[in-house]
Amino acid sequence: MHIITDALPVLPADLVTRLIDDALSEDWQSRGDVTSQAVIPAAAKADAIIRARDVGVLAGLDLATTAFLAHESGLNVTRHKADGDALAEGDDVMSIAGPAHALLSAERVALNYLGHLSGIASKTARLVALTAHTKAKICDTRKTTPGLRAIEKYAVRAGGGANHRFGLYDAVLIKDNHIAVAGGITAALKAAQENAGALPIEIEVDTLAQFEEALAAGAKIVLLDNMTPDMLRQAVDLNKGRAILEASGRVSEDSVVGIAESGVDYISVGAITHSALTLDLGLDIDIS
Based on the residue annotation, tell me whether 108 is a catalytic residue of this protein: yes
Catalytic residue among 108, 142, 149, 233: 108
Based on the residue annotation, tell me whether 261 is a catalytic residue of this protein: no
Catalytic residue among 142, 143, 149, 233: 143
Catalytic residue among 140, 225, 246, 265: 225
Based on the residue annotation, tell me whether 143 is a catalytic residue of this protein: yes
Q: What CA–CA distance (Å, rounded) separates 232 from 246?
A: 10
Q: What CA–CA distance (Å, rounded) separates 157 from 83?
A: 10
Angle, helices 61-69 vs 100-130, to 10°: value is 180
Catalytic residue among 18, 175, 242, 250: 175
Based on the residue annotation, tell me whether 140 is a catalytic residue of this protein: no
Based on the residue annotation, tell me whether 233 is a catalytic residue of this protein: no
Catalytic residue among 204, 220, 246, 265: 204
Q: Which residues are catalytic?
A: 108, 143, 175, 204, 225
